[in-house]
Amino acid sequence: VLLQIFDAFKPRLHDSNSKVNHEALEALHKMIPLLKDHLSPVINMLIPAIVDNNLNSKNPGIYAAATNVIQALCQHLDTSLLLQPFCTKAQFLSGKAKQDLTEKLA
């Protein structure tokens, strides 16, 4: 069930409408403390959706929301679940997103 929910939710994390994108990031930020390690089956799908467009966003609200989501993941999930997806994404990112994710890995 969780996989089906996040399959439907994931496209909102990189919606072309910035308000929808921002609201999806804010909603995810609220969900993370509630779901915690139950997110493990969807973490490999979520990390790219959170990071790809949002951490390099020119929109300061979207960038801040994405940063908050990454911070919440680090606080509420077992960090061993995040290590591989963060490393994989950090290899292919550029700019501010690469710097932010590399700092989280360190």
Residues 44-88 have pLDDT tens digits of 999 999 999 899 999 999 999 999 999 999 999 999 999 999 999
Distances (CA, A) of 106 to 32, 36, 74, 90: 22, 21, 12, 12
Residue 95 CA to residue 40 CA, distance in Å, equals: 28
Give the domain range for residue 53. Answer: 1-104
**106 pLDDT higher than 90:** no
Residue 23 CA to residue 31 CA, distance in Å, equals: 12
pLDDT at 25: 98
Give the mean model confidence (pLDDT) for residues 83-103.
93
Residues 4-38 have pLDDT tens digits of 999 999 999 999 999 999 999 999 999 999 999 99
Kindly report the CA angle at 98 between 96 and 104, in degrees rounded to 5? 105
Task: Indicate the number of domains in the chain.
Answer: 1
pTM for this model (two decimals): 0.94
